[in-house]
Amino acid sequence: MSGDLIETQGLTVFYGSHRGIRDVDLTVRQGEVFGFLGPNGAGKTTTMRVLLDIIRPTRGRASLFGLDCQRDGVAIRKRVAYVPGELALYGNLTGRRYLDTLDRLRGRRAAPFYRRELCDRLGLDTTRRVAEYSQGNKKKLSLVAAFMAKPDLLILDEPTGGLDPLVQQTVLRMVQEARREGRTVFFSSHILSEVQAISDRVGIIREGRLVTVERVDDLTAQPFHRLRLSFAQQPPAEAFQIAGVTELDREGPSVRLEVRENLAEVMRIAAAIGITDMETQPVTLEEVFLAYYGEKGVDRHGQGA
Amino acid sequence: MDRVLSLLWKELRERRGAILWWGLGLAVFGYVVLYLYPSLADQMAAMDMPEVYQMFGDFSNLGKLKNYLAVEAFDVMLVLTLGFYAALTGSGALAGEEETGTLETLLALPLARWHVVIAKVAALGLTLAALLVIMAAGLSLGLNHVASQRPVEYDALDMLWASLNVWPILMFYGTLGLFLGAYLPSRGLASSVTAALLVVSYLVNNLGRLVDVVRPYRPYSPLYHYSSTAVLDGRVVWSDELLILGFTLLWVVLALLSFQRRDVTVHIWPWQRLSARRRAAQRE
């Protein structure tokens, strides 16, 4: 096995005549946290379900741990835990019984101390019936069920959806701890700041096609600068109307610019007007993502998608 | 194997309520049916409605305990009512869990799909057997009441065997529902088709005793091969039992094959999946 824990080649799923995913070539390396981004219906959940052999591919192949997802599904799933995005749990069981049941069905008993610790960290009361749980508590239960097994691979579909911000932070810490222990996490999220905070690499899927896979640092390291310039007095409206420079907004004596070229010229003009302060602003993953999904389908380099 | 047993245990735990309440209802029904028998026997013996007798079986006298039991308990009540229960439970076993979403959680665990099907079939079989045993207990209590008023030729063991005699035909419809649930796109469709087949086979079998046009089709009704009174007569028609159990096995095998190929959470017809594959192959 190479260092790739998840590997898909030309993975395609059609639901009858409807597209699920198309020609997805994806690799996730052992020990990394991989963020999978895309809006609803883009194909994130479909990809995860194929990896777990819940859905069979129309074409292409998928392997985990070097094993074929379909042929060696049971062996693979012994080493994987999954948190589905659309939670449906056995409502007639208490939280404790639910976890016991999953333990038995996995054929491997989780360490009781660790399980208790996870429940405490997430603030989950396992004495109540699952049917009485809020959506947030159901998500917590599902997360405990996944993490308690200490699997080699965690597949998490929107793991922080429906959780309050404090618990979201706890979940992100749990993911980071899993990575430190050498485990691999493949997760999707709509909260781009959290993907940026914990992912080593991200893949962006659009209309069933994987449009990019890059390190988060590379993805946000754009070939342009984003600057906030402050002046003693309001600069003239046309001051920065030069090639390669876009004025994003202005607020009193401050302007925010996106500078793709002519940075030296911008500095010269700013100095002439009487600059008092300058701040460079990092590009967020959210901005990169929105560039991929811009209304006009314009990619981050300004080219039509 | 441990995981299959764990899954079976989970299934049975989930059905505790159904076993309790359905069982209670059946036991009370069985008791009441026989409790009323002594006061109804003479009236029923005096009834002269040969068409009715014929429709429910080849009976000449509903005042006889065997015929009374066949019509009041083992035919309409057990076969139709529990038949619907079996059809709905069978079709919901896979398709129902798929619709509620819990099947996705289950299949993400290290379970082979055949583990799931086998556990579901076993749970269905044990649940139906438990209900029939509880029903037999109610009938036995009722039989004690009858025995206190007139001599009876049956005992509690006869009630148990006569109740369990319904098990194969119930499993036939339960596993048919299971197969259709694994094959058709939705649970609603699977349970509707299974329930409709039960009604049609009931009508064909019972009306076929009266209506000449329908009579030739009776052997095609599964219920034709179920006898509510054979066990009370001390005989078992093995060819009929084997036929029903053979079809039951066939439905289980078809359920296994269909579920093995099913794209769970995707509610499409099997041929839609095949045509998508064909189109994808053509593109290559």
For residue B177, the cross-strand partners are: none
Closest Cα in chain B, distance from residue A75 (Å):
7
Does A146 share its domain with A276? Answer: no
Output the pLDDT for position A305: 32
- Does residue A300 have a pLDDT over 50? no
Residue B49's pLDDT band (cuts 50, 70, 90): low
- Does A89 or A185 have the greater pLDDT score? A185
Report which residue type is found at A197. A
* Same domain? A43 vs A162: yes
Domain-located, residue A53: yes
Statement to judge: residues A114 and A240 lie in one domain? no
Q: Taking CB atoms and an 8 Å limit, are A59 and B102 in contact across chains?
A: no
Per-residue confidence (pLDDT) for residue A294, from 0 to 100: 59
pLDDT mean over A271-292:
78
Arithmetic mean of pLDDT, A258-274: 87
* pLDDT at residue B140, rounded to an integer: 94
Is residue B251 within 8 A of residue B124, CB to CB? The reply is no
**How many Å apart are CA A81 and CA A147, to the nearest integer?**
7
Number of domains in chain A: 2
Neighbours of A129 (CB within 10 A): 14
Residue A56 placed within a domain: yes
Residue with tokens 């069978």, as numbered in its chain: B90
A62/A79 same-domain check: yes
Q: In this structure, are residues A255 and A229 in contact, taking their beta carbons and an 8 Å threshold?
A: yes
pLDDT-wise least confident of A14-28, A191-205, A210-224, A245-259: A210-224
Judgement on whether residues A78 and A159 belong to the same structural domain of the protein = yes
CB contact under 8 A, A101 and B109: no
Tally the domains of chain B: 1
| Confidence at residue B48, expressed as pLDDT on a 0 to 100 scale | 67
Residues near A188 by beta carbon (within 8 Å), at least 6 away in sequence? A35, A36, A37, A38, A44, A45, A48, A85, A156, A157, A158
Do the domain assignments include residue A288? no
- Average pLDDT in the B225-251 region? 88
The H or E element that residue B209 is part of is none
- Helix and strand counts by DSSP (H, E) for chain A: 10, 14
Looking at the structure, tell me whether residues A230 and A277 fall in a common domain. yes
Region class of B213: left (phi > 0), else alpha (psi between -120 and 50), else beta: alpha
pLDDT at B268: 77
Integer Cα distance of B27 and B20 in angstroms: 10
The angle subtended at Cα A87 by Cα A129 and Cα B268, nearest 5°, is 130
- Chain B: residue nearest A51 by CA? B108
Q: Could you count the other beta carbons within 10 Å of the beta carbon of residue B77?
A: 17
pLDDT at residue B58, rounded to an integer: 59
Q: What is the pLDDT of residue B273?
A: 74
**Containing domain of residue A260, as a range?**
223-282
Alpha-carbon span A118 to B36, nearest angstrom: 60
Handedness of CA B160, B163, B169, B174 (dihedral sign): negative
Comparing A145-149, A270-274, B194-198, B208-212, the range with the smallest average pLDDT is B208-212
- Angstrom distance (rounded) from CA B42 to CA B106: 56
Within a domain: A180: yes
Residue B15, domain extent = 2-283
Inter-chain contact A14–B3, Cβ cutoff 8 Å?
no
CB-closest option in A56, A80, A101 to B10 = A101
Strand A59-64 vs strand A33-37: parallel, antiparallel, or unpaired? Answer: unpaired
The domain boundary, picked from A163, A191, A217, lies at A217
H or E segment and range at residue A227: strand A225-231
For B77-143, give the DSSP string.
IIIIIIHHHHHHHHHHHHHHHHHHTHHHHHHTSS--HHHHHHHHHHHHHHHHHHHHHHHHHHHHHHH
User: What is the predicted pLDDT for the residue at A94?
Assistant: 92
Q: What is the pLDDT of residue B283?
A: 66
CA angle A34, A36, A39 (to 5 degrees): 165
A55: which DSSP letter?
S
Pick from A9, A13, A14 the residue to mutate for testing the B interface (most B CBs within 10 Å). A14
Whole-prediction pTM: 0.83
Confidence of residue A115 (pLDDT cuts 50, 70, 90): very high
Among A58, A88, A107, whose Cβ lies nearest the Cβ of B276? A58
Same domain, A14 and A109: yes
Please give the span between the terminal C-alpha atoms of chain B, in angstroms, as a whole number.
Answer: 41
Q: Is the pLDDT of residue A145 over 70?
A: yes
- Asked if residue A51 is part of any domain, the answer here is yes
- Which stretch of DSSP H or E encloses residue B174? helix B167-183
Where on the phi/psi map is residue A2: left (φ > 0), alpha (ψ -120 to 50), or beta? beta
Nearest to B6 by CA among A107, A13, A25: A107
Instruction: Flag whether A299 is in a domain.
Output: no
To test the contact with chain A by mutation, choose from B266, B274, B279 the residue with the greatest count of A C-beta atoms within 10 A, namely B266
Residues A211 and A238 grouped into a single domain: no
Q: Is there a single domain that holds both residue A181 and residue A229?
A: no
- pLDDT confidence band for A303 (50 / 70 / 90): very low
B107 vs A54, A58, A107: nearest CB: A54
Q: What's residue A260's pLDDT?
A: 80
User: With pLDDT > 90 as the criterion, what percentage of chain A qualifies?
Assistant: 48
Q: Please indicate, yes or no, if residue A128 is contained in any of the structural domains.
A: yes
Percentage of residues in chain B having pLDDT higher than 90: 52
- Whether B31 has a pLDDT exceeding 60, the answer reads yes
Q: Can you read off the two tokens belonging to residue A176?
A: 């980071």
Q: Which residues of B touch A (CB under 8 A)?
A: 2-3, 6-7, 9-10, 13-14, 17, 100-102, 104-112, 261, 263-266, 268-269, 272-273, 275-277, 279-281, 284
Task: State yes or no: pLDDT of A304 exceeds 60.
Answer: no
Q: Which pLDDT value is given to residue B133? A: 96
Q: So what's the pLDDT on residue A246?
A: 85
Ramachandran angles phi, psi of A211, nearest 5°: -90, -25
Dump pLDDT digits (tens) for A86-113. 888 888 889 999 999 999 999 878 888 9
Look at residue B244 and tell me whether its pLDDT is greater than 90.
yes
- Mean pLDDT calculated for residue range A13-19: 80
Contacting residues for A122 by C-beta, under 8 A, at least 6 apart: A140, A143, A144, A167, A170, A171
Q: Is A125 exposed, middle or buried (0-12, 13-18, 19+ CB in 10 A)?
A: middle
How far away is chain A from the Cα of B174, in angstroms, using its nearest Cα?
22
A11, A52, A100, A105, best to mutate vs chain B, most B CBs in 10 Å: A105
The answer as to whether A291 is a domain residue is: no
C-alpha distance from A72 to closest chain B C-alpha (Å)? 10
Amino acid present at A262: N
Q: Which of A137-146, A211-220, B9-18, B153-162 has the lowest mean pLDDT?
A: A211-220
Kindly give, in sequence order, each residue whose CB lies less than 8 Å from that of residue B235, ignoring residues fewer than 6 positions away: none
In a shared domain, residues A68 and A172: yes
SS3 content of chain B, % helix, strand, coil (to 5): 80, 0, 20
Sheet holding A225-231, edge to edge: A245-251, A254-259, A225-231, A275-280
pLDDT score, position A263: 86
CA distance A199 to chain B (A): 23
Residue A180: is its pLDDT beyond 90?
A: yes
Asked whether residue A136 falls in the same domain as residue A246, the answer is no
CATH of the domain at A252: 3.30.70.1560
Chain segment B124-173, per-residue pLDDT in tens: 999 999 999 999 999 999 999 888 888 888 889 999 999 999 999 999 99
Select the residue from B109, B258, B261 to test the A interface by mutation, using most A Cβ atoms within 10 A: B109
Q: What CA–CA distance (Å, rounded) separates B3 from B147?
A: 47
Whether residues A174 and A259 fall in one domain: no
Given a cut of 60, is residue A64 above it in pLDDT?
yes
Minimum distance, in Å, between the CA of residue A151 and any CA atom of chain B: 11
- The pLDDT mean for chain B works out to 87
Q: Which residue in the set A14, A89, A105 is minimally distant from B111, CB to CB?
A: A105
The answer to whether the Cβ–Cβ distance between A55 and B266 falls below 8 Å is yes
Nearest by CB to residue A56, choosing from B102, B263, B272, is: B263
